[in-house]
């Protein structure tokens, strides 16, 4: 019999040095790519369209793109000479009214017409003031590059095989852990839990008798007495060979488990089923991510994430306060950008954590279940009390004489029956014969 298999799935659940090493290499590679390629490109395409000359200003001033991520204003009569040629930045080409340089190249006034360090972004425009804005990516954008690199490295390791992918092995392990939690919470055997969490296509291929026994056990285990119902529905009324087993599991079995245990148990079953689907195809990232985030990360790290979000907010408040005291010049806002991106990252992580956090069961539903359980026990006690009361009346009430006369009649009929008398005489004779035989054997010895 094939199993989804607690023992089989556990054999490769150990994280080794190769998992962490590959994840770290990917994170570093993505960090370099984002920091030196994506962030300069993104900042340039965000800033330049906002502050480049437009309207009447563009009629009087030429604006062209130079080699790399560099844009600058040029004399209008020479714009046609420079436009579309990606020329190297030189002092004689530009007029210094508009300059946007988002490269990691050092500039000097004698050769390029403006001064910029190799680790700085440069933006000069009339709307930003007389002095140019200097952005330092090593201060303002490193946190953004780090977050993006960690996310991408994690996504890659999700789709990799479990023997080398860090997130893949964590997801795979959590599928087994959640399966074990379902078994402990419900008290069902491993075979029944496997039937409940099995993907639909695999469920259709299982032996009918095995499925019948599993669903019957679930039915009996989740029975709740309904004293108001005139007709009690039996398992055979809803499940037979013509029943669609997938539909029955989703609508009937899951529904009874939900009513008897809780919504959370059904959610664990459904998420574990999705986790098994991810185990067969790692590119279904969402299915594996849900079982890990909802049943491990949010349960273990939700308070940590909330604390980091508050810490990021505190850091942002301090940065804005320092900026208000003029200790951060408006021409170098990199520290403010650091605080903003840090808080953005923490809030984004908090949002994802809250998205996958399971909602607690509504209090009214919990009270309703407790009320139903107490009512069922109360009805049972009332029935027992009624039976005991009837028995008491029968023994000590007005029916005592009737019982006495019936007992005397039964004894009289037994004693006057020839068959009963012959039976008693035969039993006594056989006992005497057996005693005599035993005594004869004792004397010979």
Q: What are the residues whose beta carbons fall under 8 Å from the beta carbon of 132, sequence distance 6 or more?
A: 99, 114, 122, 123, 124, 331
Task: Give a yes or no: residue 191 inside a domain.
Answer: yes
Relative to beta strand 61-66, strand 99-101 is unpaired
Task: Give a yes or no: residue 159 inside a domain.
Answer: no
| Residues 216 and 343 both lie in one domain | yes
Which helix (DSSP H) or strand (DSSP E) does residue 419 occupy? Answer: helix 418-444
| Residues 392 and 443 both lie in one domain | no
pLDDT at position 47: 94
Task: Give a yes or no: residue 298 inside a domain.
Answer: yes
- Termini Cα distance of the chain: 63
User: Left (φ > 0), alpha (ψ -120 to 50) or beta: where does 220 sit?
Assistant: alpha
| Residues 91 and 127 both lie in one domain | yes
| Residues 172 and 312 both lie in one domain | yes
Per-10-residue mean pLDDT for the chain, 445 residues long?
Answer: 45 80 97 96 94 85 91 87 83 90 94 93 89 94 96 97 95 95 92 95 92 93 68 83 92 92 92 96 95 94 94 94 89 94 96 87 52 51 57 54 60 58 60 59 49
| Residues 61 and 96 both lie in one domain | yes
Reported as half-sphere exposure (CB side, CA atoms, 13 A), residue 376 has a value of 11
| Residues 342 and 429 both lie in one domain | no
Task: Give a yes or no: residue 150 inside a domain.
Answer: no
Task: Give a yes or no: residue 1 inside a domain.
Answer: no
164: helix, strand or coil = coil
Task: Give a yes or no: residue 194 inside a domain.
Answer: yes
Q: What is the count of structural domains for the chain?
A: 4
| Residues 349 and 370 both lie in one domain | no
* Rounded Cα–Cα distance for residues 291 and 170 (Å): 10
Q: What are the residues whose beta carbons fall under 8 Å from the beta carbon of 66, sequence distance 6 or more?
A: 72, 82, 86, 87, 88, 89, 93
Q: What are the residues whose beta carbons fall under 8 Å from the beta carbon of 358, sequence distance 6 or more?
A: 264, 267, 294, 298
| Residues 309 and 272 both lie in one domain | yes
Q: What are the residues whose beta carbons fall under 8 Å from the beta carbon of 240, sequence distance 6 or more?
A: none
**Which range marks the domain in which residue 344 is found?**
165-356
| Residues 192 and 208 both lie in one domain | yes
DSSP E strand stretches across 13-103: 61-66, 70-75, 99-101
| Residues 108 and 176 both lie in one domain | no
Task: Give a yes or no: residue 79 inside a domain.
Answer: yes
Task: Give a yes or no: residue 207 inside a domain.
Answer: yes
| Residues 312 and 207 both lie in one domain | yes
* Rounded Cα–Cα distance for residues 392 and 400 (Å): 10
| Residues 332 and 223 both lie in one domain | yes
With contact defined as beta carbons under 8 Å apart, do 308 and 349 qualify? Answer: yes
């Amino acid at each position: 019999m094939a199993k989804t298999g607690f023992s089989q799935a556990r054999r490769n659940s150990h994280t080794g040095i190769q998992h962490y090493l590959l994840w770290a290499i990917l994170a570093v590679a993505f960090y370099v790519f984002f920091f030196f390629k994506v962030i300069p490109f993104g900042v340039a395409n965000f800033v330049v369209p906002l502050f480049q000359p437009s309207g009447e200003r563009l009629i009087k001033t030429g604006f062209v793109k130079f080699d790399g991520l560099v844009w600058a204003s040029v004399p209008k009569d020479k714009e046609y000479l420079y436009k579309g040629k990606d020329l190297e930045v030189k002092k004689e080409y530009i007029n210094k009214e508009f300059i946007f340089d988002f490269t990691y190249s050092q500039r000097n006034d004698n050769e390029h017409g403006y001064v910029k360090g190799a680790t700085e972004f440069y933006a000069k425009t009339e709307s930003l003031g007389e002095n140019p804005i200097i952005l330092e990516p090593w201060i303002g954008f490193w946190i953004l590059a780090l977050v993006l690199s960690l996310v991408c490295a994690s996504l890659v390791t999700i789709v990799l095989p479990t023997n080398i992918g860090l997130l893949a092995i964590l997801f795979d392990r959590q599928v087994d852990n959640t399966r074990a939690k379902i078994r402990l919470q419900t008290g069902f055997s491993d075979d029944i839990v496997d039937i409940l969490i099995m993907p639909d296509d695999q469920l259709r291929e299982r032996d009918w008798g095995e499925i019948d026994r599993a669903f019957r056990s679930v039915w009996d285990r989740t029975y709740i007495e309904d004293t108001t119902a005139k007709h009690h529905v039996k398992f055979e009324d809803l499940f037979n060979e013509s029943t669609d087993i997938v539909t029955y599991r989703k609508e009937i079995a899951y529904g009874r488990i939900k009513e008897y245990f809780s919504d959370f148990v059904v959610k664990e079953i459904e998420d574990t089923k999705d986790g098994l689907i991810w185990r067969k195809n790692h590119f279904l990232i969402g299915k594996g991510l849900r079982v890990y985030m909802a049943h491990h990360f949010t349960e273990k790290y939700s308070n940590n994430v909330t604390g980091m979000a508050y810490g990021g907010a505190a850091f942002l408040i301090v940065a804005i306060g320092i900026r208000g005291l003029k200790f951060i010049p408006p021409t170098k806002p990199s520290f403010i950008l650091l605080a903003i991106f840090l808080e953005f990252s923490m809030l984004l992580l908090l949002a994802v954590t809250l998205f996958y956090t399971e909602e607690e069961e509504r209090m009214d539903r919990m009270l309703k279940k407790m009320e139903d359980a107490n009512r069922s026990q109360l009805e049972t006690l009332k029935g027992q009390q009624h039976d005991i009361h009837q028995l008491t009346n029968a023994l000590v009430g007005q029916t005592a004489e009737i019982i006495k006369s019936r007992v005397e009649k039964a004894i009289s009929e037994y004693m006057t029956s020839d068959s009963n008398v012959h039976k008693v005489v035969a039993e006594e004779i056989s006992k005497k014969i057996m005693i005599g035989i035993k005594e004869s054997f004792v004397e010979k010895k």
